[in-house]
Structure 1
């Protein structure tokens, strides 16, 4: 679903973006640890398939939540980080974390 096809309801729109499997965990990693490499996500998100990780990162990039920085090194290296828009998701992730702790 493209940005212009997102649901009109703000709650539905948010749920669509962060509600798919692994997406909130990717954002949590960036909130908690800062910039991460693809391999960092693979290590922490045990069980995620590389194509799924790649798809989720691309979707978050398309929605302006994360950005990929490519460094001109040998071998080439890239990192993902939260954009300014992505930083505004910090309270959402914190609220999800707190709710999860209190409901266990």
Structure 2
């Protein structure tokens, strides 16, 4: 595993974790790779509507540096590159699952509050 470009100092575990998932798209990239397995760049881009090519490239590079994503380049023409989660990325995704559950509950609560507010 490559050493991270960001190596603290950290004040707590959340600080260290947030360092590698900060950015709108990183957690969504993790989830996309978790849900669909190995993906090519264009497949990732289609699975993440709204992400720019530049931002996806940047986040994938950072995630590769942090040991979350594996980039496999095949020696063929045209070039073929695939991305997959590393074991480190899988464990991070597992840790994020409870946050996803919390987020789903929040969506439902906000929806219920919005409906109640609209009805008043």
Q: Structure 2-normalised TM-score?
A: 0.78
Q: Which segments of 5 or more consecutive residues in structure 2 lack a partner in the other structure?
A: 108-120
Which aligned segments of 4 or more residues in structure 1 are displaced greater than 6 angstroms?
A: none
Report SS of the residue matched to 1:7.
coil
What is the number of equivalent residue pairs in this alignment?
A: 104
The within-5 A match list for 1:1-104 is: 2-5=5-8, 7-104=10-107
Greater C-alpha radius of gyration:
2
Is the CA contact 1:38–1:79 (under 8 Å) kept in the aligned structure 2? Answer: yes
Task: Tell me how far 1:6 sits from its aligned partner.
Answer: 5.3
Q: Distance in 2 between matches of 1:7 and 1:40?
A: 35
What do you get for the CA RMSD once the two structures are aligned? 1.7
Q: Structure 1-normalised TM-score?
A: 0.88
Task: Tell me how far 1:96 sits from its aligned partner.
Answer: 2.3
Is the CA contact 2:68–2:89 (under 8 Å) kept in the aligned structure 1? Answer: yes
